[in-house]
Amino acid sequence: MKGPAGSLRARVALAFLVTTALAMLALGLFVQWRVEDTLETGLRDQLEGEMDGLAAVPPDARVRSVEQLAGDIHGQVLSADGEIVASSTAVRDQLVDPGGVDDDYTSTRIRVIDDLGEADEDLEIDNEPVIVLVRPLGDHVVVLAIEREEADEAVMAVREQLLISGPVALGLAGVLGYVVAGFGLRPIERMRARAATISSRSAGERLPVPPAAELRRLALTLNAMLDRLDAGLERERRFVADASHELRTPLALLLTEVELALSGSRSQDDLLDALRSAEQEVRRLIALSEDLLALAGADAGQLRLHPEEVDVSALAADVVRRFRTTAEAAGRSITFDAGGPALVAGDAERLGRVLSNLVDNALRHGAGDVEVEVTRGGSEVALAVIDQGTGFREDRPFERFAASHGSVGLGLAIVDEIIRAHGGRIGITREQGRTVVRVSLPALPG
């Protein structure tokens, strides 16, 4: 695992920290707004209560009441033309212009006496932030103002507490996020540690499956991949072992023939026989090498096709013609039947190899006469190679090295790879005492 700066654990903790910071910022702004709104609502309620009290008394008593206002509430009584009729003692100037203020709340600043001192020259006058309420009452306009300094200080105190506690909470959240991320990623670390110990020599080992649903799906998917890799590795091991076995036999025979030829005690005819036998073994080795290369290319996804329009009927007729002499030499016949052109999009050379392998397999390991049929039905072209033999003794004849009749067992495996590369399918059945190998390929429209 990388260092903390690049680790998934650190990135998860950082994301958790950023998310928490944004949430705390939003919460702090909301709390500050609510506190400020609540305090301001309380101040307005005080103004409303005081104004309602003034509205309930006669004008003369109202004027005296305004003059006697003290504390955080200040007031003035103005005439209709804006002249001051009465004012609380702490107010130094006219609070508002009665013609320019509606019957509503207004935030402003007013000059008030903060400290009376011992003489008039010692008066301390401050500009105080206030909330002002203006209301016409009879022939007068009453202006009330309440200082909001304490409310503003309370809001500031809340803001300071949030600024102090916020970083502390974020630090704790970061540590907690890092610890929680560590616990959450521990199953992944166990899977990584187990994966580091799995090798080709430890086939069958699998990753631990955590209980968490997401990690459980990941572990099951990776274990399924390991199953496929193990199966492929086992096939490769078996393939190498079987190939080594098949190569050993012709090489041993070839070495024997060469040693006998070099012994010096053999006649010219014996030497010619030895050379002919060596030639057969060399040809067998060449064929086996070509088959192995073809299968290796298919396994690597490199079984390249050169598709073109191919008439399977014409291709089959040519293959039958080439094998007719071999069949007659064995006292058997090979016939061909086609209902007309059967066009497919395929690689003519590889499809020719399919037909050759199937016919050669029928002549070598089958019995009786061999029939080759090509038909077209709907969207498919069907090719059938039929002989009178007893069929295959292998359970999986298309598996590599599955043959038990003395051949290398690669012919049908190569046929299967080529047919699947063309998008077709192949199968073997027993019909009326005969063995039928049937190939189906996608037909060209026409």
Q: Give pLDDT tens digits for 122-137.
A: 556 667 788 888 888 8
Q: How confident is the model at residue 55 (pLDDT cuts 50, 70, 90)?
A: confident
Mean pLDDT for 194-214 is: 76
Nearest of 122, 100, 121, 125 to residue 110 by alpha carbon: 125
How far apart, in whole angstroms, are the C-alpha atoms of residue 247 and residue 229? 26
Mean of pLDDT over the chain: 79
Percent over 90 (pLDDT), the chain: 6
Mean pLDDT for 201-208 is: 74
Nearest of 305, 308, 287 to residue 407 by alpha carbon: 287
Nearest of 298, 294, 370 to residue 327 by alpha carbon: 370
Whether 169 has a pLDDT exceeding 80, the answer reads yes
232-246, 268-282, 340-354: which has the minimum mean pLDDT? 232-246
Kindly list the domain boundaries of the chain, sorted by start residue.
Answer: 1-197, 213-299, 308-442
Six token digits for residue 219? 């572990």
Count other C-beta atoms under 10 Å from residue 95's C-beta. Answer: 25
**pLDDT number for residue 433:** 79
The answer to whether residues 8 and 185 touch, using CB atoms and an 8 Å cutoff, is: yes
54-58, 113-117, 152-156, 367-371: which has the minimum mean pLDDT? 113-117
Amino acid making up residue 206 = R
Q: Which residue has the higher pLDDT, 275 or 219?
A: 219
Whether 74 has a pLDDT exceeding 50, the answer reads yes
Mean pLDDT for 266-294 is: 72
Q: CATH assignment of 308-442?
A: 3.30.565.10
Amino acid making up residue 401 = F
How far apart, in whole angstroms, are the C-alpha atoms of residue 420 and residue 57? 105
How far apart, in whole angstroms, are the C-alpha atoms of residue 319 and residue 99? 114
Mean pLDDT for 186-215 is: 78
Q: How confident is the model at residue 297 (pLDDT cuts 50, 70, 90)?
A: low
The answer to whether residues 364 and 328 touch, using CB atoms and an 8 Å cutoff, is: no
Whether 224 has a pLDDT exceeding 80, the answer reads yes
Q: Which residue has the higher pLDDT, 364 or 401?
A: 364
Enter the pTM of the model: 0.47
Mean pLDDT for 48-77 is: 87
The answer to whether residues 48 and 144 touch, using CB atoms and an 8 Å cutoff, is: no
Count other C-beta atoms under 10 Å from residue 437's C-beta. Answer: 24
Say if residue 23 is exposed, middle or buried (CB neighbours under 10 Å; 0-12, 13-18, 19+). Answer: exposed
**pLDDT number for residue 125:** 64
**pLDDT number for residue 222:** 85
58-67, 86-95, 194-203, 395-404: which has the minimum mean pLDDT? 395-404
Q: How confident is the model at residue 26 (pLDDT cuts 50, 70, 90)?
A: very high
Q: What is the pLDDT of residues 313-343, one digit of tens each?
A: 999 898 888 888 888 888 889 999 887 888 9
Q: CATH assignment of 1-197?
A: 3.30.450
Count other C-beta atoms under 10 Å from residue 299's C-beta. Answer: 14
* Sheet with strand 370-377: strands edge to edge: 334-338, 370-377, 380-387, 434-442, 425-431
Q: Write the class of the CATH domain 213-299.
A: mainly alpha
Q: How confident is the model at residue 30 (pLDDT cuts 50, 70, 90)?
A: very high
Q: How confident is the model at residue 121 (pLDDT cuts 50, 70, 90)?
A: low
> Could you tell me which residues are beta bridge partners of residue 434?
431
